[in-house]
Structure 1
Amino acid sequence: MQLPKNTFAIDAHWSSSTARQQVAGGKKSSESMLVVTSDGKLMFLSKLGRVEKSVEAHTGAVLATRWCEDYTALVSVGEDGQVKVWSHSLMLQSTLVQSSSPVYSVSWSPDSSQLLYTSGKHLIIQSLQPSSKSLQWKAHDGLIPAVDWSLLGNLIISGGEDRKYRWSYSLDKPDSGTLFSLSWTMDSTQLAAGCADGRVIFAHVVDRQLEWKNWCATVNTDHTIDMVDISNESAEHLEFPERVVRASLGWVIS
């Protein structure tokens, strides 16, 4: 698809054809992409590039958009400092936030009851419930262009112009410049980031530890676990052909 001259696609998010069919009450619903543009539009595009629906969503550029987990609603944020919630048919439900600075990124909580968005150097969590207080904290030393909230791990990841990306127990400083976009995989074990120098970087969560009685298990890489018996300091290195998504310690009576 070719957008009109001087109109640029800023962000996009695929919908699931199965999920959209459920939302549509069992009617056929083809897979489509949610796209936002530099001239304030929010639109649905088919896989063939046809515009299914388009609305004027923000004053100035729309900077990010995301479907909620069950595809019954979506959110958009923009240069006008607004955070807007829309129905799956692009009907405006509410203007949740009106801030004085642009909102560069947004993500839903795993249960779709809250929204995480950026404001300068700060991250803010806002409930969808009216008159509820927001939770705000300074997350970076520079502007934050990218955030994501994992569905299974309930972890928040943020990328800032201080060239750092963080989650609750990890910090890394890649040499790729500003991270403009971040996204978790569905199993919350890996993430991808779009970078200022044109690269896409991939990362996975490591050093996850599990403890049970005298045993300690550490997920060192996405394919290995180190087991240690602290009672006698014996150790065993386990390797798996597939990625380790989840692990638990315990015993089973056979």
Structure 2
Amino acid sequence: SDNILFSNNEYCYIKSLKTQAPPLKWKAHDGLVLCSDWCLVSEHIVTGGEDCKFKLWDRYGRSLCISISCDFPISSVAWSPDGQCFVVGSQNILRLCDKAGWPHSLEKLTSGSLLSLCWFDDSTQLVAGSGTGQVIHAQIVGRTLVHLLAPSKAEANS
């Protein structure tokens, strides 16, 4: 892409790498934007905020979906490589949503805040890393997250 997405405080920006035009700017959350991901397939953007909501945007910053308020801030979001769904991480929660933002699965964990999410290339599995050092492996079956392995501490010297 010829653009980059970044955030500062409660705002998101899309900056062109080819022109000197000012970046597109919009207020994304009531509080800090903590995470974001831009889908290469649909060009939709998902953001998570300190306001305990995740939001879906088009590439022009127009709102497509706003979640209900969750119990804790949204600490991570990630689109699947095929663009059909995304996951949202929070304190002890991993949520699977379809590309329109509708939640399909909620996995309750005991791992603390999920800070990093990474999909397998085929969009059927993902790995999540938590602030406590635990790693969670999950698989998508239908439209449901299936937690495969009990969380374990990541090896410090691996």
Change (3 A) 1:115 1:98: farther
How far off its partner does 1:95 sit?
0.8
> Which amino acid is the alignment partner of residue 108 of structure 1?
W
Matching residue of 2:97? 126
Per the normalisation by structure 2, the TM-score is: 0.77
Higher relative contact order (CA 8 A, sep 6+): 2
Is 2:143 aligned against 1:173? no
How far off its partner does 1:36 sit?
1.4
C-alpha contact (below 8 Å) 1:110/1:154 kept by paired residues = no
How far off its partner does 1:172 sit?
5.8
Is 2:37 aligned against 1:44? no
SS in 1 for 2:156: coil
Is 2:50 aligned against 1:79? yes
1:1-254 alignment to 2 at 5 Å?
16=1, 31-37=2-8, 39-47=9-17, 51-128=22-99, 134-152=104-122, 154-168=124-138, 173-175=154-156
Distance 1:128 1:70 in 2: 11
Give the aligned CA root-mean-square deviation in angstroms: 2.7
Distance 1:122 1:161 in 2: 13
SS in 1 for 2:67: strand
Larger gyration radius, structure 1 or structure 2: 1
Distance 1:71 1:134 in 2: 19
Q: Specify which structure has the higher proportion of strand.
A: 2
Gap runs ≥5 in structure 1: 1-15, 17-30, 177-202, 204-254
> Which amino acid is the alignment partner of residue 167 of structure 1?
H
How far off its partner does 1:142 sit?
1.9
Distance 2:68 2:118 in 1: 18
Any idea what the Cα deviations from partners look like across 1:39-80, whole Å, max 9, x if unmatched? 200001233886421101101110111111314311111000
Gap runs ≥5 in structure 2: 139-147
Distance 1:165 1:50 in 2: 41
How far off its partner does 1:127 sit?
2.6
C-alpha contact (below 8 Å) 1:43/1:51 kept by paired residues = no
SS in 1 for 2:111: coil
Change (3 A) 1:146 1:59: same
C-alpha contact (below 8 Å) 2:119/2:126 kept by paired residues = yes
Question: Aligned pairs, how many?
Answer: 146
How far off its partner does 1:81 sit?
1.1
Distance 2:12 2:135 in 1: 28
SS in 2 for 1:98: coil
Any idea what the Cα deviations from partners look like across 1:83-108, whole Å, max 9, x if unmatched? 11111111111213431310010112
